[in-house]
Structure 1
């Protein structure tokens, strides 16, 4: 179901890792950093110059088609899927070089990527758990940014408790038939495919009997409804599956083993890209300090103390991220999520304090918000999406500290 992707694209001969046959650029991070910085400066000076700073959480509607063209430009230049193994279409870049790329990308204020779910989540999941046929069918489309993906995990009754999903999939000959509802599905309205959890064994409970399916979005039986947010935008969606179908072989991992595969995807969600995210956080904090200086708010000793504490918190966050990067120790991903989500939500609240009473007034009709108002409103969701704080603390309590699990009805 759905047309298979073509062969893996060849990376250009001028690709930076292969630029100098007399030396291995991988051994020189400084040289690689300079190459990334120079390429981004050139690429963002031409037809894509107007995309600096476009997109991102709460602003995914901004210049989406242009950002898609930008992502494909990155692919043509060999900058997508850097950390993937070469045999799967990646560059096989060492971890240090992946970090450098994400840091320089953020420092260049390059536009938010539209291929995150494919490149950072599904692709690595297929490499780890998928069959050779699934890898051959889907990885090329991710590398070349030909097919976009969304993630179908949360449901109205299972937002943070993924083991309680009720979307069901029933095998009908050579296809799975899917019925159910997903919610808070980012970018579902532009996605070609969805990777989702569904219950394939109704006799099992909780995490048992779940399967990880790949489902085409453009078919009868799939309805996408946008969810209007406090920011006035609608990057999240409800997705209704009513007799939607996907091929019987599009199960990642074994049937009934979807919980293990889904946890693998969630672990990959907090990889090297988070360091680039934190460079963006630093830019936001610097801009807020600049605003406080211009408006005189920095003279308030209480506000000044809060801004200093925010700076210290950011330094601690970055030190923790670097120290734990690549670690598979239990609980590392949960701690990281708790730290950055609370910090960023706090930054939104601090921005409102810096703005004072003016933060309560829209900038224009009908509901025109400035960057700080959008930050405050959207960052309220930081402690919910990607695994709520309550779920992260439960993981730490049960799996790291060994505390007894609560009795569930």
Structure 2
């Protein structure tokens, strides 16, 4: 029953830390992320990244992205698909190129340097979603573009990673029996199939759920759809959050949106989502921090600046103002669980050396901590002219 005590500790600490963060004018997610660092191996060592925590955290990020999809405006996503594509592509190219170059300055090999570029090309929109929801900016044009770009970003990062593993990977690449071309075809079929799921399958499933004579049957069916699509996305090599996000979009087009939103929010925000944010902090370690200090600083700064510039320029080319471009860039800075997963895969596949692994994890966590602050500041700056006009 130790896990019950651990869960209780996480929930009370994240609640207090989130409260303090908000009182200090910071996003609540900052306090939750710092809770993981304080409770984890980096400082107190009271909580470790057990399979229980990992599974709970995975459910948390899936529910968070389902909620994001639920609150997204499908028409806005369609309208801003071009800006999303530009933001994602430039937001991938710049980090890959610059971080690859920075890594070579610290005498990393060609393959390892390129892999680090791919690692920091990924975006963890789940952190940005929490801030956007907190500031009621999720359904604006900037928030919509961030969501759309993050989906494209994840797909691009997964495709590049798959290609690298198939060409250069050790253990992972050798054990992979699936042809890369077949994998890409399956993933393309998944996105094509999503159209049918959103338009025809989900509405029928929700009506079946409504007819079930069990409590909260509609919410139950929505979770089945959420977890089902998350599982299939993960099964074919994509991120589970992509499946969860599109499940939320699909359910959000039905007549049950408000009911489900009212039921899912307490489930996610009270239990699962705080554990997810804590789990990111648990990966932090100060082992070898001083020895790799400048490497961590350079990679962290490069990771932040390249996303801000790449995504921001992409937004500007798509017709946004520089202020909006900065907000969109800030929304793409967070690396979070996506970069952590890619780093772990690369480590297992011998694309990332053990000597640099802890430093890379530290840089990922630092960008994840800084990102919500940048995003909140950019949203508040964007809101000032509107307030003056009002």
TM-score, structure 2 normalization: 0.30
Structure with more helix by fraction:
2
TM-score under structure 1 length normalisation: 0.29
Higher RCO by CA contacts (8 Å cutoff, separation 6 or greater): 2
